[in-house]
Amino acid sequence: MKDDNVLKRLRIVEGHLKGVIRMVEEGAYCIDIIRQIQAVDAALNKVSAQILDGHLNSCVITAVQGEDPAERQRVLKEVLEVFETSTKV
């Protein structure tokens, strides 16, 4: 999967993360660092949602419409596992 929009967003997140690293190196105020980390988390969550949307609208639809019941189960199980992992703290 190559998605230029996803790559663009990830490069933006990379820049923000480098900014967080710089803040830690420079001894910035802890709450300011935490706020920036939360912004990076939120941006990564948006990228994950975008990738999941693409997956649901391509791979999952193909598997669900396909003839192989085992493949349908596998793909649906993957989606469930990703959701379960994302809700763990």
pLDDT tens string for the chain (89 positions)? 688 999 999 999 999 999 999 999 999 999 999 999 999 999 999 999 999 999 999 989 998 899 999 998 999 999 899 888 887 76
Measured in residues, the chain has a length of 89
Structural domains for the chain: 4-86 (1.20.58.1000)
Cα(82)–Cα(73) distance, rounded to whole angstroms?
14
Q: Decide: 85 and 76 in contact? Cβ < 8 Å.
A: no
Cα(78)–Cα(55) distance, rounded to whole angstroms?
11
Q: What is the pLDDT of residue 88?
A: 77
Residue the block writes with tokens 């935490």? 34
Q: What is the pLDDT of residue 46?
A: 94
